[in-house]
Amino acid sequence: MNFLHTDLTTLHEQLLNREVSAVELTKATLANIAATDSKYEAYITTMEDEAIETAAAVDAAGIDANNLLSGIPYGIKDNILTKGVQTTAASHILEGFKPVFDATVVEKMRKAGAIGVGKTNLDEFAMGSTGETSYYKTTKNAWDQTKVPGGSSSGSAVTVGAGQVPFALGTDTGGSIRQPAAFNGIVGMKPSYGRVSRFGVVAFASSLDQVGQFTRTVKDNAAVLSALAGQDANDQTTSNRAVPDFTASLNGDIKGLKIAVPKEYFGAGVNAAVKDIVRQAINQLEALGAIVDEVSLPHTKYGVAAYYILGSAEASSNLQRFDGIRYGFRAKDVKTLEDLYVQTRTQGFGDEVKQRIMLGTYALSAGAYEKFFKQAAQVRTLMNQDFDKVFADYDLIVAPATPNVAYGFGQNEDDPEITYMNDVLTIPVNMAGLPGLSINAGFSNGLPVGMQLIGDRFAEETVYRVAYAFEQATRLFEQVPGGDK
């Protein structure tokens, strides 16, 4: 079976009423993945045995009537650690690596009774925005398999977009949830920094990374975040703020809510059709009673530059542990220790990863630190202050999620700058640690266009409230790949 037309609430009813058992649902899900994944290539690893075992345990314990996730199959981005199940971060250097512990988010999903069915493809170490840098395979867009799925959470976005699972976990460092969510016409949320534990997530850039989730509907999305969020002793950057039930704020009422539209997000680099569709969506919000004003976030244009310095610098350090000594891939036939390091890393990492490691290493090296790393961190402060000023007067920021809709494979290979500009509209949200959600706002030539809703820090409830009002007014989620409902 597929999940193109079933949300968590429907599934939950079916499970509670014993129309279907968790094991039956899981088996059907795995069968559908087996039948369709040659088309999408969303999975690096499927977890047949573990999934059926978990589902049987959930059936034995009984479906939890108060928990929408109980007995629900889901996908896990393969940079999130799963005990005993190969976790590669889509890199050769972690081929065959079996973690000895579960990530906190996986642990939380297990406690909620959700059933992990597989590890989804991604750009290697989550570095990329097309899904093309994976060592293992190239995931295809759910709507058009000749188009990129977006990245880095390519597999998680596509597996939900194509209806293989009702939800999936991803990570977002500079747009890696929101951008592929936009390209696949689904709901993708990057929560506030510190909302969700990073323990057990293969680090890319520690000060920017957050775990989030892909779903078809806003309510499903809010339900998953409610289960994922919370302070974790294993991640000392998680916030101690109380975690509300995010589904509770979904009442469709946004009257009087103040929405800011940053003019920089409708700049020259943004495709005209994308701008049009998002402006129409904003008009829709206004029609629902929101007060909309244009504002300025003047440092937006520096975001990509600052991000590539800071993100690459942190990554260069975080990825040094992959050295072939304690786990994962080790190069064969090495004679000396230096060889072991150099050959393992040279053979183990792909070009995009190497490029960022070198950029980051440079940015931190003697003489460059002040000019690049520190300067970028100062620019980050200015970007964050831009947001603070807007949120002093507004409840929410609304903008396009991406400059373009999904495009063909291999388009920007030789100009990293063009590829990097894909993230210009999503990066500032990571820099400031804000919650950001992408939701389908309409279609351009049959491909989905994402609208981005950006909240103040820890104001996920506002984001969901507005997203839900828009979704219920437009019901765009009923349009799925392969035809309308």
Partner 1 sequence: MAVPNFETTIGLEVHVEMKTNSKAMSPSPVQFGATPNANTNVIDWGYPGVLPQANKGALDYGIRAALALGAEIRPVLHWDRKNYFYPDNPKAYQITQQFEPLASNGQLEIEVDGEKKLVGITELHVEEDAGKNTHGHDGYSYVDLNRQGTPLIEIVGAPDLHTPEEAYAYLEALRQTIQFSGVSDVKMQEGSMRVDANISIRPIGSQVHGERVELKNLNSLNYVRKALAYEEERQAKIYLAGGVVKQQTRRYDSASNVTVLMREKETADDYRYFPEPDLAPVHISQAWIEQVRTELPKSAPARRAHYIDTLGLEPYAAEVLTQTLEMSDFFDVMVAQGAEPVRSANYVMGEVNAFLNEAHLDLQETKLQPENLAAMIKMIEDGTISTKMAKRVFVAVTKGEDAVAFVEENGLKQLSDPATLTPIITGILDKNEQSIIDFHNGKDRAVGALVGQVMKQTKGNANPTVVNEILMAELQARKPE
Partner 2 sequence: MEEEMITREEVMHVAGLAKLALTDNDAAMFTDHLEKIFEMVNMLGEVDTSNVQPTFSVTDMDTVLRDDVAVQANQAAELLANAPEHTDNLIKVPAILDEGGEG
Mind telling me the catalytic residues?
77, 152, 176
Is 377 among the residues that bind partner 2 (CB under 8 A)? yes
Applying CB under 8 A, among 26, 32, 87, 300 the residue interacting with partner 1 is: 87
Is 173 among the residues that bind partner 1 (CB under 8 A)? no
In the complex with partner 1, which residue's Cβ is closer, 55 or 353?
353
From residue 166 to residue 205, the character string flagging contacts with partner 2 as x (rule: CB under 8 A) and all else as - is ---------------------------xx-----------
**Among residue numbers 212 through 251, which ones bind partner 1 (CB under 8 A)?**
233-237
Q: Which does residue 382 bind out of partner 1, partner 2, none, counting CB within 5 to 8 angstroms by kind? A: partner 2
Is 341 among the residues that bind partner 2 (CB under 8 A)? yes
Q: Which does residue 234 bind out of partner 2, partner 1, none, counting CB within 5 to 8 angstroms by kind? A: partner 1
Q: Which does residue 202 bind out of partner 2, partner 1, none, counting CB within 5 to 8 angstroms by kind? A: partner 1
From residue 354 to residue 373, the character string flagging contacts with partner 2 as x (rule: CB under 8 A) and all else as - is xx-xxx-xx--x--x--xx-
Is 323 among the residues that bind partner 1 (CB under 8 A)? yes
**Among residue numbers 439 through 468, which ones bind partner 2 (CB under 8 A)?**
457-458
Q: At what angle do helices 460-474 and 272-287 cross, to 10 degrees?
A: 90
Is 268 among the residues that bind partner 1 (CB under 8 A)? no
Is 333 among the residues that bind partner 1 (CB under 8 A)? no
Residue 81's nearest CA partner among 116, 111, 54 is 116
Q: Which does residue 135 bind out of partner 2, partner 1, none, counting CB within 5 to 8 angstroms by kind? A: none
Q: Which does residue 264 bind out of partner 2, partner 1, none, counting CB within 5 to 8 angstroms by kind? A: none
Shortest distance in whole angstroms from residue 361 CB to partner 2: 4
Is 321 among the residues that bind partner 1 (CB under 8 A)? yes
In the complex with partner 2, which residue's Cβ is closer, 15 or 309?
309
Is 370 among the residues that bind partner 1 (CB under 8 A)? no
Applying CB under 8 A, among 233, 268, 272, 287 the residue interacting with partner 2 is: 233
**Among residue numbers 316 through 335, which ones bind partner 2 (CB under 8 A)?**
316, 320, 323-327, 330, 334-335
In the complex with partner 2, which residue's Cβ is closer, 344 or 452?
344
Cis omega before residue 206 (within 30°)?
no
**Among residue numbers 194 through 213, which ones bind partner 1 (CB under 8 A)?**
198-203, 205-207
**Contacting positions for partner 1 (CB under 8 A):** 80-81, 87, 89, 94, 97, 99-101, 103, 198-203, 205-207, 233-237, 313-314, 316-317, 320-323, 325-327, 337, 341, 361, 364-366, 369, 373
